[in-house]
Structure formats: C-alpha cells, structure tokens
C-alpha cells in the first residue's frame, strides 16, 4: 500500500506539471502570435525570445511531464487492475485520450509557430486555452466523486464560466478599441 501512495503522489505531481505546461504554452502562443503583428525590429526580438521560451517549456517541462504522468498512471493501473472495470475510470480514460489529442494539437501549433506559420489568431488561442481547463475539471470531479455522471455538473459549470470569460474579453476588447 505504501508503494501505491508513492506512485499515486508521483502521478499527481506530473499531471499537475503537465497541465501547467499546457496552460502556459498556449499563453505563449498568444504572445507569439501578437508579437508577429509588431513592427520591426520589435517583432524579430520578441519572436526569437518566444521561440526559446516555448521550446524550453515544451521539451523540458510539458513533454517529460506527460510521459511521466502516463508511466505512473499505467503503474497505478497495474497495481489496481480492477479500476479498469469501473465506469468512472472508463470515462476518465476517455478524457485522458482527449487530453492527449489536445496535447498533440498543441504540438502541431508549436511546430507551426517555430516555423513562422501563423494559422490562428490570438483570440482563437485564448479560447483554445479553455480546452485543457475543461478536461482538468472533468477529470478532477471524476476522480474525487468516482461517479461517471456527477462530473457533468462540474464540466457544465466550467464551460459556462469559460463562456462568460470570453464574453467579458470581447466586451473589454470593444471598450478598449473605442478609446
């Protein structure tokens, strides 16, 4: 049982650092996209710095955290194989698949920005950043409540909260543009 607690602790630590990396990388994408609209030489200076920052975050924190969180998760499932049969765990694993899809899409965006391909605007990236938040809420509620259905309330709440934040952002942007 003591081994289980150590493995669970390590899994949780790397899940936290993985999410921290995902939250921050998308914020850096926003800054990088906005830097591309700056005049020269400010644009070149900022883009160079953001490329370094995103590289370090992505390959020194985010990817290693994703790999280690996965290794410790698989180890936990090896120690507790009966969890696979539980409905809440099956739903959680579905969200983990979504998290990896989100991670791989972030990797694609990362590669595009490293190659100076700007396919998305900063508003899209701000909205995209909410994806990881929704997944995080769903997984936390699932793990804590261990119920495959009660997590819906938490996810609906965060989606509504995210919509309010985005509406507030658009409202603030309009006020700022009028000044």
Reading phi first (left if > 0) and then psi (alpha if -120 to 50, else beta), residue 19 is in alpha
Burial of 168 (0-12, 13-18, 19+ CB in 10 A): exposed
Determine if residue 103 is labeled as part of a ligand binding site. Answer: no
If one counts every other C-beta atom within 10 angstroms of the C-beta of residue 147, the result is 13
Query: For residue 28, how far is the Cα from the chain centroid?
Result: 12
- CA 78, chain centre distance (Å): 26
Dist CA 106 CA 124 (whole Å): 13
Entry field: residues in the chain: 179
Cα(87)–Cα(90) distance, rounded to whole angstroms? 5
What's the burial of 77, exposed, middle or buried (CB within 10 Å: 0-12/13-18/19+)?
Answer: middle
11 in a known ligand binding site: yes
Report DSSP state, residue 86. S
Residues sharing a CB contact under 8 Å with residue 105, sequence separation 6 or more, in sequence order: none
Q: Binding site for heme: which residues?
A: 11, 92
Q: Binding site: which residues?
A: 11, 92
């Amino acid at each position: 049982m003591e081994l289980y607690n150590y493995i669970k602790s390590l899994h949780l630590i790397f899940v936290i650092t993985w999410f921290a990396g995902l939250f921050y990388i998308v914020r850096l994408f926003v800054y990088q996209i906005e830097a591309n609209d700056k005049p020269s030489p400010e644009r070149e200076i900022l883009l160079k710095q953001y490329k370094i920052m995103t590289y370090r975050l992505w390959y020194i924190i985010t990817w290693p955290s994703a790999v280690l969180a996965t290794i410790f998760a698989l180890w936990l499932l090896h120690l507790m194989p009966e969890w696979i049969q539980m409905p809440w765990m099956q739903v959680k694993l579905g969200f983990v698949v979504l998290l990896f899809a989100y991670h791989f899409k972030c990797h694609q965006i990362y590669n595009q920005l490293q190659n100076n391909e700007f396919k998305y605007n900063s508003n899209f990236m701000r909205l995209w950043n909410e994806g990881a938040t929704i997944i995080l809420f769903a997984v936390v509620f699932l793990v804590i409540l261990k119920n495959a259905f009660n997590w819906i309330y938490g996810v609906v709440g965060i989606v509504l909260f995210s919509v309010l934040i985005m509406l507030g952002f658009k409202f603030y942007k309009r006020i700022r543009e009028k000044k």
